[in-house]
A and B are shown apart, each in its own frame.
Chain A
Amino acid sequence: MKTFPSPFCFSGGIHPAYNKDLTCGEAIRRLSCPAQLVISLSQHLGAPAVPCVKAGDIVSGGQRLADAAGMISAPIHAPTSGKVVRIEPAPTPLGRPAPAILFEPDGRDVWESTLDPLADWQTHDPRALAERVGAAGVVGMGGAGFPTQVKLSPPADKPIDTLIINGAECEPYLTGDHRLMVEQAATLWEGAAIIRHILGAKTVRVAIEDNKPDAIRAMETALPTTLADAAVCVLKTSYPQGSEKQQIFSVTGRVVPAGGLPMDVGCVVENVGTTLAVWDAVVNGRPLIWRTITVSGDAVTAPANFLAPIGTPFAALVEACGGAKGRIAKIVAGGPMMGFAQAALDVAMTKTSSGLLLLSAARVPGYTSQPCIACGRCLDACPMRLMPAELSQRIEADDIDGAEQTFVMDCFECGSCAFVCPAHRPLVQHMRRAKAVIIARRRAAPKKS
Chain B
Amino acid sequence: MSDWLTPILWIGGIGTACGAALALAARYLSVEEDPRIERIANELPGANCGGCGFAGCADYAKAMVTADTAATLCPVCNSESSAKIAALLGRSVEVSERKVAVIRCGGNDSEALRRFAYNGIADCAAAAATGGGDKTCTYGCLGYGSCVRVCPFHAIAVADGLATVDPRVCIGCGKCIPACPRGIITLAPAAASLHVLCSSKDKGPVVKKACGVGCIGCTLCVKLSDGAISMEGFLARVDYSKPLTQDVLVEKCPGHCIQKIG
Q: Residue B131 at the A interface, CB < 8 A?
A: yes
- A96 to B138: give the CA distance in the assembly, Å: 9
Number of contacting residues on B, CB 8 A?
14
Asked whether, in the complex, the Cβ of A426 is within 8 Å of the Cβ of B131, the reply is no
Asked whether, in the complex, the Cβ of B121 is within 8 Å of the Cβ of A426, the reply is yes
Asked whether, in the complex, the Cβ of A343 is within 8 Å of the Cβ of B115, the reply is yes
* Residues from 393 to 441 in A contacting B, C-beta threshold 8 Å: 426, 429-430, 432-433, 436
Asked whether, in the complex, the Cβ of A429 is within 8 Å of the Cβ of B115, the reply is no
- A367 to B119: give the CA distance in the assembly, Å: 8
CB distance from A79 to the nearest CB of B (A): 26
Asked whether, in the complex, the Cβ of B132 is within 8 Å of the Cβ of A433, the reply is no
Asked whether, in the complex, the Cβ of A432 is within 8 Å of the Cβ of B119, the reply is no
Q: Residue B129 at the A interface, CB < 8 A?
A: yes
Contacts of B121 in A (CB 8 A): 369, 426, 429-430, 433
Q: Residue B10 at the A interface, CB < 8 A?
A: no
Asked whether, in the complex, the Cβ of A343 is within 8 Å of the Cβ of B129, the reply is no
Contacts of B129 in A (CB 8 A): 95, 432-433, 436
Contacts of B119 in A (CB 8 A): 366-367
Contacts of B123 in A (CB 8 A): 433
CB distance from A97 to the nearest CB of B (A): 7
CB-CB contacts of B125-145 with A at 8 A, as 1s and 0s? 110011110100010000000
Take A426-B121, A429-B121, A430-B121 as given contacts and tell me if A340 and B126 are in contact as well, using a CB distance cutoff of 8 Å: no
Asked whether, in the complex, the Cβ of B125 is within 8 Å of the Cβ of A433, the reply is yes
Asked whether, in the complex, the Cβ of A95 is within 8 Å of the Cβ of B126, the reply is no
Q: Residue B120 at the A interface, CB < 8 A?
A: yes
Q: Residue A350 at the B interface, CB < 8 A?
A: no
Residue in contact with A340 in the complex, picked from B120, B125, B131, B138, CB distance below 8 Å: B131
Take A343-B115, A344-B115, A366-B119 as given contacts and tell me if A95 and B132 are in contact as well, using a CB distance cutoff of 8 Å: yes
Residue in contact with A429 in the complex, picked from B116, B126, B132, B134, CB distance below 8 Å: B126
Q: Residue A341 at the B interface, CB < 8 A?
A: yes
Contacts of B132 in A (CB 8 A): 91, 95-97
Contacts of A430 in B (CB 8 A): 121
Asked whether, in the complex, the Cβ of A343 is within 8 Å of the Cβ of B125, the reply is no
Residue in contact with A95 in the complex, picked from B120, B125, B130, CB distance below 8 Å: B130
CB-CB contacts of B8-44 with A at 8 A, as 1s and 0s? 0000000000000000000000000000000000000
Query: Counting chain A CB atoms within 10 Å of each CB, which of B116, B126, B129, B131 scores highest?
Result: B131
- A433 to B126: give the CA distance in the assembly, Å: 6
Take A95-B131, A95-B132 as given contacts and tell me if A341 and B116 are in contact as well, using a CB distance cutoff of 8 Å: yes
CB-CB contacts of A77-104 with B at 8 A, as 1s and 0s? 0000000000000010001110000000
- A97 to B138: give the CA distance in the assembly, Å: 10
Asked whether, in the complex, the Cβ of B131 is within 8 Å of the Cβ of A341, the reply is yes
- A269 to B130: give the CA distance in the assembly, Å: 29
* Residues from 41 to 85 in A contacting B, C-beta threshold 8 Å: none
CB distance from B139 to the nearest CB of A (A): 12
- A274 to B126: give the CA distance in the assembly, Å: 32
Take A343-B115, A344-B115 as given contacts and tell me if A429 and B131 are in contact as well, using a CB distance cutoff of 8 Å: no
- A156 to B180: give the CA distance in the assembly, Å: 47
In the complex, which residue of chain B has the Cβ closest to the Cβ of A91?
A: B132
CB distance from B161 to the nearest CB of A (A): 17
Contacts of B134 in A (CB 8 A): 343
Asked whether, in the complex, the Cβ of B131 is within 8 Å of the Cβ of A343, the reply is yes
CB distance from B120 to the nearest CB of A (A): 5
CB distance from A280 to the nearest CB of B (A): 32
Contacts of A343 in B (CB 8 A): 115-116, 131, 134
Contacts of A433 in B (CB 8 A): 121, 123, 125-126, 129
CB distance from A359 to the nearest CB of B (A): 13
* Residues from 334 to 348 in A contacting B, C-beta threshold 8 Å: 340-344
Contacts of A91 in B (CB 8 A): 132
* Residues from 91 to 119 in A contacting B, C-beta threshold 8 Å: 91, 95-97
In the complex, which residue of chain A has the Cβ closest to the Cβ of B114?
A: A343
Contacts of A366 in B (CB 8 A): 119
Contacts of A344 in B (CB 8 A): 115
Contacts of B131 in A (CB 8 A): 95, 340-343
In the complex, which residue of chain B has the Cβ closest to the Cβ of A395?
A: B121
CB distance from A198 to the nearest CB of B (A): 37
- A341 to B116: give the CA distance in the assembly, Å: 10
- A426 to B115: give the CA distance in the assembly, Å: 20
- A96 to B121: give the CA distance in the assembly, Å: 19
In the complex, which residue of chain B has the Cβ closest to the Cβ of A367?
A: B119
- A341 to B132: give the CA distance in the assembly, Å: 11
* 5 cross-chain CB contacts under 8 A: A95-B129, A95-B131, A97-B132, A341-B116, A429-B126
Ranked nearest first, the 4 interchain pairs of A and B with the lowest CB-CB distance are A95-B131, A343-B115, A343-B116, A95-B132
Chain A positions within 8 Å of B, measured between CB atoms, are 91, 95-97, 340-344, 366-367, 369, 426, 429-430, 432-433, 436
Known: A91-B132, A95-B132, A429-B120. 12 other contacts (CB 8 A): A341-B116, A342-B131, A343-B134, A366-B119, A426-B120, A426-B121, A429-B121, A429-B126, A429-B130, A430-B121, A433-B125, A433-B126
